[in-house]
Amino acid sequence: MGRRWLVTGASRGLGREIARAAVDAGDTVMATARSADAVRNALEGGHDRLHTLALDITDADAAHAVAAETVARLGAIDVLVNNAGYAELGFFETIADAAVRRQFEVNLFGTMNVARAVVPYMRQRRSGLIVTISSVSGLVSNAGGAVYSASKFAVEGWMEGFSQELAPLGVRSLLVEPGMLRTDFMDQTSARFGTIDIPDYAEAVAQYRAFVDGANGNQPGDPQRLAARIVALASQEDVPARLVFGDDARQRAGAKLDQLRVEVAAE
């Protein structure tokens, strides 16, 4: 019998590719997004092993309902992919407080909502894998990405500790830290920018916006390759704690490690 997956943010990007890859591998998938129609349209040519439900991850009650419905339909949840999220980009002082809080509401607290809803079923069976889609920006921050990185740093810290709490109960964890993937993550459907004009930052912000616009659609990472890697890892008994994916991600993470070694060694 194949594995049974629950994937959030499956209407586009990496979430869509993971859902497709899992079905192609012979598994059964409950694919979710804020709009069930959007998921169905994104995964047209569906399969009897592909199911869809609407889920806004910021709604804790909805997360519990979707988890229960998924178990009722599929029998269990073997793999949870916490993928839904977006990027609040721009220099910190140009981003309104409400936007910062919304970033955390989705990327951190929404992801926690889904985990809270699903993990009790995994604990009961003493089995399961939680795949949390983070980012290399959860390891390394940069000018223009402070708020997004903050939300992903928080996800990293939470899952690093939570995974150790779950391990004795048979529930495994994989943090995925991609570099830049060729998805729509950097266009207006997933990325937002600060709305406060501050002259001191104007030139730097303009350069950063130009970088994002130029990178959108030209990112080096292949989301289909990453999706296939995640599906392959889900079938293994021993899963690494982290998957740093992409040359750019490995380069950034490696440079951070080198810097930390120097700083830790300094007297």
pLDDT digits (tens, 9 = 90+) for 137-185: 999 999 999 999 999 999 999 999 999 999 999 999 999 999 887 566 5
Q: What are the catalytic residues? A: 134, 148, 152
Q: pTM value? A: 0.92
User: How much is the average pLDDT of 108-124?
Assistant: 98
Task: Identify whether the C-beta of residue 91 lies closer than 8 Å to the C-beta of residue 204.
Answer: yes
Could you give the angle at which helices 111-125 and 146-166 cross, rounded to 10 degrees?
Answer: 10
Burial class (CB in 10 A: 0-12, 13-18, 19+), 251: middle
Query: What's the pLDDT band for 51 if we cut at 50, 70, 90?
Result: very high
Report residue 108: phi and psi, to 5°: -100, -65
CATH number of the domain bearing residue 100: 3.40.50.720
Task: Identify whether the C-beta of residue 139 lies closer than 8 Å to the C-beta of residue 156.
Answer: yes
Q: State the pairing for strand pair 242-245/87-89.
A: unpaired
Query: What's the pLDDT band for 191 if we cut at 50, 70, 90?
Result: low
User: How much is the average pLDDT of 214-229?
Assistant: 77
* pLDDT at site 183: 62
Total domain count, the chain: 1
Burial class (CB in 10 A: 0-12, 13-18, 19+), 197: exposed
Range of the domain at 207: 4-265
Tokens of 155: 């996800």
Rounded Cα distance between 218 and 160, Å, is 31
Tokens of 81: 């992919």
* pLDDT at site 193: 83
Does 244 score more than 90 pLDDT? Answer: yes
* pLDDT at site 42: 82
Tokens of 241: 């704690």
Does 82 score more than 70 pLDDT? Answer: yes
User: How much is the average pLDDT of 71-81?
Assistant: 98
* pLDDT at site 221: 57
Task: Identify whether the C-beta of residue 53 lies closer than 8 Å to the C-beta of residue 70.
Answer: yes
95-104, 181-190, 249-258, range with the lowest pLDDT: 181-190
